[in-house]
Amino acid sequence: MKSRILTIAALAVIVFSCATKKEAPKVVVAEPVKVVELTPALAAGQNLYDNNCAKCHKLFKATDFTKEDWKPILVRMQKKAHLDDTQMASISDYISSQL
């Protein structure tokens, strides 16, 4: 008798879980955020990036482009942002650290 009740209970659970599955809300998977501990040098690069690279357009995410894509973009944007080679190397290091 006890096992029959358990069986019924188990079936009820199965039926219930199947029934509710259909109404389950869509699971929104958040984009994974890469948390990288920045060294002071990389933090300086981030600072330069944040302050110089969103004047004409939105601040792009490092992961919006590949390392190969970034190279020519940074060459073009250095001229636009009027940054020297040291500042640009710092920005470039920061972006690489986020990829």
By CB under 6 A, name the binding residues for ligand HEC.
Answer: 52-53, 55-57, 60, 65, 73-74, 76-77, 80-81, 83, 91
> Could you give the CA distance from residue 25 to residue 99 in angstroms, rounded to a whole number?
33
Comparing CB distances to ligand HEC, the nearer of 22 and 55 is 55
Comparing CB distances to ligand HEC, the nearer of 22 and 82 is 82
**Min separation Cβ 35 and ligand HEC, Å:** 21
Q: Is 94 exposed, middle or buried (0-12, 13-18, 19+ CB in 10 A)?
A: buried
**Min separation Cβ 63 and ligand HEC, Å:** 11
Q: Which of 50, 36, 56 is nearest to 87 (CA)?
A: 50
